[in-house]
Amino acid sequence: MENESLLMLPGPVPIPERVRMVMMRQAINHRGSEFGSLYAECVRILRPLFGTTADLFILSGSGTAAMEAAVANFGKDRKIASLVNGKFGERLFKISQRYGNAFDIGSTWGTPLNLELLESHLEEGAELVTLVHNETSAGIKNPAEEVGKLARKHDALLIMDGITSIGGDVVEADRWGVDIAFVGSQKCLAAPAGLSAISVSKRAWDRLSEKRPYYLDLAAYRKSAAGTPMETPYTPAVTLFLALHQALLIVEKEGISARIERHRRLSRAVREAAQAWGLSLYPTLDDHHAYSNTVTAISYPSGIKDSEMRGIVKKMGIEIAGGQDSLKGKIFRIGSMGAVNAPEILATLAVVEHALRKLGYPVRGNGVEAACEVLV
Amino acid sequence: MENESLLMLPGPVPIPERVRMVMMRQAINHRGSEFGSLYAECVRILRPLFGTTADLFILSGSGTAAMEAAVANFGKDRKIASLVNGKFGERLFKISQRYGNAFDIGSTWGTPLNLELLESHLEEGAELVTLVHNETSAGIKNPAEEVGKLARKHDALLIMDGITSIGGDVVEADRWGVDIAFVGSQKCLAAPAGLSAISVSKRAWDRLSEKRPYYLDLAAYRKSAAGTPMETPYTPAVTLFLALHQALLIVEKEGISARIERHRRLSRAVREAAQAWGLSLYPTLDDHHAYSNTVTAISYPSGIKDSEMRGIVKKMGIEIAGGQDSLKGKIFRIGSMGAVNAPEILATLAVVEHALRKLGYPVRGNGVEAACEVLV
């Protein structure tokens, strides 16, 4: 793939050839039966990835559009408790502030959520909880099931951002009590960016806000999806639907469990490499199950500059991510999302190890070998 | 193009091969310099199509997203006068109702706008006017320059939907006094659906609403566009940007005037054919300059059923449009947008003429020949 960097980011991720090929097709009419079947097929394959049998729609907008759709359709003028331990939790809080009476239940980025404070807000009448399942900005996976139990106990709706977990990690929206969940196309599904999918529980429909936005009005999506052929209320990004469909056929062929297991193994390989090098993961967690399975954040040792390190890696044709906002310069992040495979992880680790050495960090052990042990 | 219908619709339209080919590329990082240059290049080519030197942004959402961005960012809690003579004027009115204090300045679909009533609303303090330049639902082009003069006279902002005119007809946003204009990717630009572009005048920025939506927050777009590299605030539909860029290079190569002239000639050919057949255009207008140059609406003669007629046309591999809402069954519409060429128009007219005959309509004259006279 000359001229193209290997994107080992927490999205966008490399897109399989078959998915890209289909976008060469000529435009099709989005009010016809072919598009309707395509949409229905996408929904059929997506539902089990969400762990839901609820309504599910595809929006022509990226993950942030789905975040806003969730909050705007169910949170207007309501009391919203926003769990925040990273950039995307913060974004959901900011969106919540634009629509409702939002409370920031914040912890330092990458540290566990403050569930005691959540409970007190629920006791005081919070009607909606927002949660990011997999917080890529901080490499942490949040305990969605636990949050779901608390929300149900207090009869609040739960909005869960599954943008970077759905399709790469276990998500059981219905069992966990998640009312609204959403995913982005360019993360674990390995499709091009620009679409998001959102599920809505029966409980949530019963509490639909009366005043809603227009382009992201989920009641309009419900109405159009119920027609024959299945449609979207406004012109969808048809080409991206074609691509998402191919990406989902790949997911279906691999099988959900196998796909999740692959994500687990790849991210564990990255963690083992970091530890072999003598570096600390970010955050430092006791319980290994709370590390993200789709991205790994590693703390820079003192003296290593982010731009230099990622510059060397980029020169070799691989893009990894730095930290965002308050974590800028403090961490680097390696994605293991979507269609990423063992050779790509190994090449990435090899060049990172090389860069660390070149920049004067006394690499303790052979990280690439440690990763091989996990991957073989 | 086996299996693919020729889309002679008022969007989506056939996409040139070069535009589709580029979508086969691997994902690129939307926070890098390549994407930044791509975005900047698109803006550079789009500005003259809008007739503006103002700020211009590309949204990852279809035309309706741009409609909402316009109203939501500048119309919150304001008095809005919505000019309505078709489906899309109606849509802008509905969106305006969700954000401001909106008045429906309605005329029957396809009939001239009620500018007297507009003026009285402006005198009573309307702060914002919404207008659809080219109303595809009714085949009519509205007098944007005249509306712009009225809006300026009363110091109101003017939002103009140029979704189906920009790139195919003359648009002079700055000269006409249009403050916010927008276009959809899948219309006259002949790119895939899923993107829209929106321009914002200095005057409009001075009146930016304080409470704005999130995904469509134009202040966030402005901030990200001003950075180096040029960025979008949230993940864009990168693949569609690649495609739009190619489509715009084609527009640039053809030249704006030549492109508009082609659209004019193609739509005139359709009108001449309709008249040769003895059919009435919809609407019936005295002034030929008010007919849309990008879609032609033709009234069904009595006894011809829409589904039968379009069914025959579709069987031949061509999709034309019926009427929407109140015009369903009463008109059919032939698009002449984007990259459409003379052979495609002639083939469409040939099969429509055949269908009319087959369904028992006594075709008066040779419409295909009449079209050839215009096209040669």
Q: Which residues 293-322 of B have a C-beta within 8 angstroms of A?
A: 319
Query: Is A293:A335 a contact under the CB 8 Å cutoff?
Result: no
Shortest alpha-carbon distance between residue B62 and chain A (Å): 6
Of B93, B168, B167, B102, residue with least CA distance to B132: B93
CB A232 within 8 A of CB A224: yes
d(CA A229, CA B83): 32
Which of the four pLDDT bands, split at 50, 70 and 90, describes residue A291?
very high
The whole-number pLDDT of residue A323 equals 96
Asked if pLDDT for residue A62 goes beyond 50, the answer is yes
Q: Residue B181, exposed/middle/buried by CB under 10 A (0-12, 13-18, 19+)?
A: buried
Contact B14, B6 (CB under 8 A): yes
Give the confidence band of B283 by pLDDT, cuts at 50, 70, 90.
confident
Residues 85-124 of B with CB under 8 A from A: 94-95, 98
Mean pLDDT value across residues A57-66 = 98
Over residues B250-259, the pLDDT tens digits come to: 999 999 999 9
Contact B98 A212 (CB under 8 A): yes
Rounded average pLDDT over A236-260: 98
Rounded distance between C-alpha atoms, residue B322 and residue A326, angstroms: 55
Task: Evaluate if residue A11 carries a pLDDT over 90.
Answer: no
Residues 357-376 of chain B with CB under 8 A from chain A are: none
B192 lies within 8 A of chain A by CB: yes
What pLDDT band is residue A78 in, cutting at 50, 70 and 90? Answer: very high
CATH entry 3.40.190.10 includes domain B6-11+256-375: no
Using pLDDT thresholds of 50, 70 and 90, give the confidence band for residue A1. Answer: very low
pLDDT, position B68: 98
Determine contact, residues B104/B84, Cβ cutoff 8 Å: yes
Q: What pLDDT score does A22 carry?
A: 97
pLDDT classification of A256: cutoffs 50, 70, 90: very high
| Chain segment A148-195, per-residue pLDDT in tens | 999 999 999 999 999 999 999 999 999 999 999 999 999 999 999 999
Contacting A residues, span 49-78, partner chain B, CB-CB under 8 Å: 60-65, 67-68, 72
Distance CA B225, CA B223 (A): 6
Which residue of chain B comes nearest to A14, CA vs CA?
B27
Q: What is the pLDDT of residues B307-350, one digit of tens each?
A: 999 999 999 999 999 999 999 999 999 999 999 999 999 999 99
Q: Give the range among A284-288, B276-280, B314-318, B328-332 with minimum mean pLDDT.
A: A284-288
Q: Which of A29, A94, A215 sits opposite B9 (nearest CB)?
A: A29
C-alpha closest to that of A49 among A294, A355, A232, A255: A255
Query: What is the band of A4 on the pLDDT scale with cuts at 50, 70, 90?
Result: confident
Kindly report the number of other CB atoms within 10 A of residue A327's CB atom: 22
| Confidence tier at B3 by pLDDT (50, 70, 90) | low
Average pLDDT over chain B, rounded to an integer: 96
**Residue B174's pLDDT band (boundaries 50, 70, 90)?**
very high
Residues of chain A found within 8 Å of residue B4, distances taken between Cβ atoms: 25-26, 28
B214, B310, B320, B333: best to mutate for the A interface, most A CBs within 10 A: B214
Q: What superfamily in CATH does domain A6-11+255-375 come from?
A: Aspartate Aminotransferase, domain 1 (3.90.1150.10)
Minimal Cβ distance to A239: which of B4, B21, B192:
B192
pLDDT band at B1 (very low <50, low <70, confident <90, very high): very low
For residue B184, which residues of chain A lie inside 8 Å, CB to CB? 235
CATH architecture of A17-253: 3-Layer(aba) Sandwich (3.40)
* CA distances to A51, A131, A178 from A174, in Å: 6, 15, 6
Residue B122 pLDDT class (50, 70, 90 cuts): very high
| Averaged pLDDT for residues B193-197 | 98
CA A15 to chain centre: 16
Residue B259's CB: how many other CB atoms inside 10 A?
A: 22
Crossing angle for the helix pair A256-277 and A238-254, to the nearest 10 degrees? 80
Query: Which tokens hold the place of B254?
Result: 């053809």
**In this prediction, what percent of chain A has a pLDDT beyond 70?**
98
Q: Residue A270 in contact with residue A347, Cβ under 8 Å? A: no
Give the ranges where chain A is alpha helix by DSSP (H).
17-21, 33-50, 63-74, 87-99, 115-123, 144-153, 173-176, 202-205, 218-225, 238-254, 256-277, 306-315, 342-358, 367-375
User: Do strands B196-200 and B55-59 pair parallel, antiparallel, or not at all (unpaired)?
Assistant: antiparallel
pLDDT of B192 above 50: yes
Contact A193 B63 (CB under 8 A): no
Confidence of residue B289 (pLDDT cuts 50, 70, 90): low
**Looking at beta carbons, which residues of chain B come within 8 Å of A240?**
194, 237, 239-240
